[in-house]
């Protein structure tokens, strides 16, 4: 309230009070461009800011999480071994994570042209094959990722070239990541005996019969071999996959290259 000389009392609107009386800084005239410098986005390194250009930056924690892995796999080349009938999210999400961390990925398949993704029992999208399997040189890759799905690994394990391609990574100690039904490929490649791993629960007997130590965990890491059970495990799978791929070759991985199948 304010007293006038005529004895009358007037009431000031809160909007006319000096800002210091209501706890707000007086200078609110700065434009959006000026206030941006206080955001987490503008405090990131220039490389990170470029990476996020064009994205809606609403989750600061997400930005920080992604920043942790960015650049870790710069210069790394990862083969994604896959054919028709793969669980789509088990290819696309790990691929996004790998490329977000700086890796170059290539879809390698026994088929040429395109391959069919699946959303459980329903058809999903089709994806271009980057390198037909008969033209792929495993020596050019630093790591291998195999998506799951029911039909995809069942077809791959019946393809000798796919098994030989997989064996190369174990013989050279290169890291390998496999999710869901993908350990079927590892079983027929003869690289499971003596390894600790997980998979889709329904194929645990196959893993055990092949000499593997099956455990029910969202992600298992065993000297360069990363495995997970299902799509719900993808965040944990991606994190450990990037860590192992970043570390490069694992000498212990070579010891299991010729372990063979359970007899």
180 is catalytic: yes
Distance CA 3, CA 8 (A): 6
Backbone phi, psi, residue 213, to 5°: -95, 95
What φ, ψ does residue 18 adopt, rounded to 5°? -60, 140
- Beta-bridge partners for 87: 118
Residue 132 near residue 164, CB atoms below 8 Å: no
Candidate list 179, 180, 182, 220, residue with the active-site label: 180
209: CB partners within 8 A, 6+ apart = 262
HEC readout, 98-115: HHHCCCEEEEEECCCCEE
Q: Which residues are catalytic?
A: 180
């Amino acid at each position: 309230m304010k007293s006038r000389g005529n004895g009358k009392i007037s009431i000031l609107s809160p909007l006319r009070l000096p800002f210091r009386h209501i706890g707000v800084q007086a200078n609110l005239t700065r434009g959006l461009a000026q206030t941006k410098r206080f955001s987490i986005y503008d405090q990131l390194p220039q490389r990170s800011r470029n990476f996020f250009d064009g994205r809606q930056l609403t989750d600061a924690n997400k930005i920080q999480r992604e920043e942790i892995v960015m650049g870790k796999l710069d210069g790394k080349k990862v083969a994604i071994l896959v054919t028709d009938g793969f669980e789509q999210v088990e290819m696309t999400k790990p691929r996004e994570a790998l490329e977000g961390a700086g890796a170059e990925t290539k879809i390698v398949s026994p088929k040429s042209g395109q391959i069919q993704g699946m959303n459980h029992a329903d058809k999903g999208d089709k994806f271009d094959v980057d390198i037909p399997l008969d033209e792929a040189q495993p020596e050019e890759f630093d790591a291998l990722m195999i998506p799951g799905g029911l039909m995809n690994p069942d077809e791959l394990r019946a393809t000798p070239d796919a098994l030989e391609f997989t064996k190369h990574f174990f013989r050279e100690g290169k890291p390998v990541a496999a999710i869901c039904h993908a350990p079927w490929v590892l079983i027929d490649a003869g690289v499971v005996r003596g390894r600790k791993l997980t998979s889709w629960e329904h194929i645990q007997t196959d893993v055990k019969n092949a000499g593997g130590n099956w455990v029910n965990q969202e992600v298992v890491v065993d000297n360069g071999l990363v495995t997970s059970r299902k799509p719900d495990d993808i965040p944990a799978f991606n994190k450990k996959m990037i860590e192992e791929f970043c570390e490069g070759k694992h000498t212990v991985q070579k010891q299991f290259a010729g372990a063979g199948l359970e007899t």
